[in-house]
Amino acid sequence: MFSFFKKNKKDIVKKQGEDTVIPSKELVDDEGVAQEQEVYTELSIHPSMNVPLETQYVLRFLNNELPPLKPNQVSLSGIELRAEEDQLIVSAFVRNSVSKGIRLAESSILLIGPNGEHLARKRFDLAELGEIPAKSSRPWHFNFHLSDVISAEIPSEGWKLAFEIKAPHRLDLDASWENALPVEEKEKLVQMVESLGAPKEGEVNFLGLQARKNEDSGLSVTILIRNGNDKNIQLHQLPLQVEDASGEIVAKGGFALDQFEVKANTSKPWTFIFPRELVLAEDPDFSRWKVQIVEQKETV
């Protein structure tokens, strides 16, 4: 375990980082019963950390200077940031104002600059902190490797660590759909997206919503494009293949898309029309069907 305050801190004892706070329900399922308006957290050293008494004194001093929390909150309070070889070592107090001990799971942590800019991002297994006792403050090291660093410049002060809490996966309707769909249909789509939950992190997948034959023997297929990335994605070419309940290929073709974007952590419905020449089955069984990306050369 790396030591705190590797540089000489005897003359100047102060925190380099700022504080961030989130409701504990964002990280843990079971909250305690709040009885007070303000919670002052006591220092709690992890049992496996061998911290010299002098350093414990400094940590206790810094912890006592921290502002109180409201009940049922978890806070990251920056202590020190330093560069060592191929990593940034960021130390912070992980503060728990819940009236019972909590255990944290894997979570993405952001290193944020004084102006709100993202400096680094990494997923940490926070189970390593063990149980953080009720109303306590546990100092910890967060090691960001160079591959986790986003910015070329890292300030020595004014930075902060923050839990990256994603908003719930939601529906993203194109303006044309927004204007054309009845309210009831929009509500059904919203409920469907909520019931499906989010795709795996970084995953993009496709869910078939509706498939029907057109009057000209073409095929209209409406699918839900689900973006599990934390960034917007642009789709330019989409080669699709539709299979019916028997596994027979019903239609196959490629679609060129113009400025087609699916926003981060959203699902977007879209209809693709296969002309008659790309429809391969005359009487498909759509009691169950699927659509998938395939390699092919044709374009529509």
Mean pLDDT calculated for residue range 242-264: 93
pLDDT at 296: 54
**Sign of the alpha-carbon dihedral angle for 55, 57, 62, 67:** positive
Q: Name the pLDDT band for 6 (thresholds 50, 70, 90).
A: low
136 vs 296, more confident:
136
pLDDT at 109: 95
What is the pTM (predicted TM-score) of this model? 0.64
> Over 80: is that where the pLDDT of 9 sits?
no
What contacts 43, CB < 8 A, 6 or more positions away? 56, 59, 60, 63, 136, 137, 139
Domain locations in the chain? Answer: 19-163, 170-293
Q: CATH for 170-293, among 2.70.98, 2.60.40, 1.10.10, 1.10.540?
A: 2.60.40
